[in-house]
Structure 1
Amino acid sequence: MKLREALALAIGGDLAHLAEVARQLSSLGVRVEPGGDVVWGPTRLLGKGNNGVVVFCRSRHGDIYACKIRRGDAQRPHLLDEARYLQIANGVGVGPRLYAYTRDVLVMEYVEGTPVADWWRAAGAEERARFVADLLRQARALDLAGISHGELSRPGKHVLVARGGRAVILDFESARPGAQNVTQAANLLRALGLTPPLEALRRYAERRDDLAFNELLSSLLGQLKR
């Protein structure tokens, strides 16, 4: 099966939607390339969600990107809100860089990394400590920016670990106004085996100041030194 036919099955929708997606990809100067670890029917993708699929794309100049394409059966009418929240996140140094977008396509930085749950099992204490500090500081930056990712709690799905142990927060599809990212990230760390102190979490939720944040971070880093 040709790539175009396989991708059409992954995106779904009627012929009008497929034609519109093709037009938008062309207007952005990218074309879809094969590859990825997620098997979806007869093709492979970088990722698949309820509202979109993520695929390799290549520009006319040969640059590689990750492109999110809205599915034809998506409940969301467009990807414009996700683009707006990702731009805000980029503004505070969080998330893959967004280069261009339309209603149905986001052209983003391709991040090569490992799902956090897989990486955590093989990482040493110092590597884990650097990752925890990086993740929580990024979550804190989102809190200060006034947006809540919405799905940071699940290990492996929305956080990758890139080269050097850098945390990369992905997929702002469910983002909304708010400031619950540190709490969500703490729940992710709980799933990985750490024990975020409830009192410190409560103080941070109430005050969201540097003192409460540093208390929470110190407690978690202290657990990794034992």
Structure 2
Amino acid sequence: MAVGTPGLPEGIAMEKFCYPSHMIEKRPDECYDIYRSILLVTGDPRSLVMIDKGTDSIVFLDEDSKRVFKVKRLDATKFLSNEGYVLLNIGYSSPLKIAPKVYAFNKYVVVMEYVEGTKFESLPELGLSQNELKRILCRIIRKAMLLDELMVNHGQLSRAYRHIIIRTNDHEPIFIDFGDSTITRKPQNLTSVWSFLHNKGLLRVISEEIDSLDFARSLKKKEETAIKALKEHCVSC
């Protein structure tokens, strides 16, 4: 049975924001901190609807403001502040729109813009022309390059089908899920994206030249010729 939570408007249940619910009694202080964090941003969280559930967090959409609330699971050991800092850094530093804009964050909650679109795994359903598909793939490669330049390693782009959203209004690819990201001198975003697109048979849409294993070896070694070739093929996207 849902239990009203002290400090929340009447009718708001503890189980809505603390997951899994059997952990509430074990971590009541963490529950309260999560609620306070949400209340500071929304004032009234009744408009929040759960839209996703992961191993470390649950995700809510505020249907009024169209903002996303990523909330730490009670049984997770990983806090969310790192993801907030990374998103903030990308937003300030990148000339391209790589990731959702972050509005507020602490170790329990990250509040960011809602990106309406289709996950990469559903790309065929969009019925894109060859030129539109090439533009999207080139934009993904350019953004992976930029992340490398920012020394941010996403950590999940070898399985990019779940971590890239194709925005509805302009088909712009937006990278999401920076929970495993790190700041490092040797980021692997470009090589991860190349491997993913190669395995999906999509690189040939851009150019046969960049779809060979020899090219992959050059790219992995950060050889200038490979980087230059990618830039030349994707510069106009």
Return the TM-score normalized by structure 2. Answer: 0.77
Judging changes above 3 Å, is the alpha-carbon distance between structure 1 residues 100 and 72 closer, same or farther for their aligned structure 2 residues? same
Q: Is the Cα contact below 8 Å between 1:82 and 1:173 reproduced in 2?
A: yes
- Aligned equivalents of 1:207, 1:100: Cα separation in 2: 36
3-state SS in 2 of match to 1:165: coil
For 1:140, the aligned partner's letter is: M
Cα deviation for residue 219 of structure 1 reads: 7.0
Judging changes above 3 Å, is the alpha-carbon distance between structure 1 residues 48 and 27 closer, same or farther for their aligned structure 2 residues? same
Cα deviation for residue 208 of structure 1 reads: 5.9
Which shifted more, 188-197 or 104-113?
188-197
Query: What is residue 215 of structure 2 aligned with on the other side?
Result: 200
User: Structure 1: 5+ residue runs without aligned partners?
Assistant: 36-44, 222-226
Query: What is residue 73 of structure 2 aligned with on the other side?
Result: 71
Query: What is residue 87 of structure 1 aligned with on the other side?
Result: 88
Q: Is the Cα contact below 8 Å between 2:18 and 2:73 reproduced in 1?
A: no
3-state SS in 1 of match to 2:61: strand
- Aligned equivalents of 2:58, 2:156: Cα separation in 1: 17
Cα-to-partner distance string for 1:190-222 (whole Å, 9 max, x where unaligned): 34322532222322232364x42242466799x
3-state SS in 1 of match to 2:110: strand
- Aligned equivalents of 2:128, 2:191: Cα separation in 1: 23
- Aligned equivalents of 2:59, 2:223: Cα separation in 1: 34
Cα deviation for residue 83 of structure 1 reads: 1.1
User: Structure 2: 5+ residue runs without aligned partners?
Assistant: 3-10, 204-210
Judging changes above 3 Å, is the alpha-carbon distance between structure 1 residues 82 and 29 closer, same or farther for their aligned structure 2 residues? same
Q: Which has the larger radius of gyration?
A: 2
Judging changes above 3 Å, is the alpha-carbon distance between structure 1 residues 4 and 126 closer, same or farther for their aligned structure 2 residues? farther
Q: Is the Cα contact below 8 Å between 1:32 and 1:55 reproduced in 2?
A: no
Query: What is residue 123 of structure 1 aligned with on the other side?
Result: 128
> RMSD of the alignment, in Å?
2.6
The sequence identity of aligned pairs, in percent, is: 23
The answer on 1:172 being equivalent to 2:186 is no
Cα-to-partner distance string for 1:90-137 (whole Å, 9 max, x where unaligned): 221320001111220101010001011212353221111010111000
3-state SS in 2 of match to 1:130: helix
Query: What is residue 108 of structure 1 aligned with on the other side?
Result: 112
> Which of 182, 192, 196 is the equivalent residue of 1:184?
192
- Aligned equivalents of 1:131, 1:97: Cα separation in 2: 20
Q: 1:17-32 to 2 correspondence within 5 Å? A: 17-29=30-42, 31=45
Q: Is the Cα contact below 8 Å between 1:130 and 1:165 reproduced in 2?
A: no
Which shifted more, 22-31 or 123-132?
22-31
The answer on 1:136 being equivalent to 2:160 is no
- Aligned equivalents of 1:33, 1:146: Cα separation in 2: 37
Query: What is residue 207 of structure 2 aligned with on the other side?
Result: none
Question: Of Structure 1 and Structure 2, which has the larger fraction of its residues in strand?
Answer: 1
Q: Is the Cα contact below 8 Å between 1:70 and 1:79 reproduced in 2?
A: yes
3-state SS in 2 of match to 1:66: strand
